[in-house]
Amino acid sequence: MAEFIGLFFTYLGLVLLIIAACIAFVLARNVPAGQKAVVWYRWISLLSVGFLGIYTFVMHAFFPEIASANIGWARSPFEYEVAVANLAVGLLAVVAFCKQTSHGFRVASVLAAAVWYWGDAVGHIYQMLVQHNFTAGNAGVWFWMDVIVPIVLIALLVNSKKGSN
């Protein structure tokens, strides 16, 4: 059971993306064509950025030894600052989930998430190339979610804007 829990959290970003896609797929079938991208955006933002941001806040703020070890780093006092930044972007994504949020708010939340995720991806690449750090938390699914999720969210935002015109 402990091994399953470890695997679940190693692949959490992918798990949340898959769950979000399943929910969005089911719910988007019942909305007008021009609103489908908004449904997809809302669920992927909520789970892949919002919940993940809150989860990484908890891990870096309250369990920094585990979070650092998973990434292949030594614990740092800056980890709390990373935690708070994760919480800020995660909460933006949770608010962006609300139906009443404007397209402009969604753009701002995706901008924050893209800076965070792609900034993390650059750091992961540096760690892989310079430090030869290929731990699961640095070079595994977490790296790929840092690359893919912002691309998906940007594409959904573009499509949702087209659908509302």
137 or 150, greater pLDDT: 150
For the chain, the structural domain boundaries read 2-164
* Interatomic CA distance for residues 66 and 78, integer angstroms: 15
Q: What is the pLDDT of residues 23-37, one digit of tens each?
A: 999 999 999 988 999
Which of these, 75, 83, 73, 82, lies nearest to 138 by C-alpha position? 73
* Confidence at 5, pLDDT banded by 50, 70, 90: low
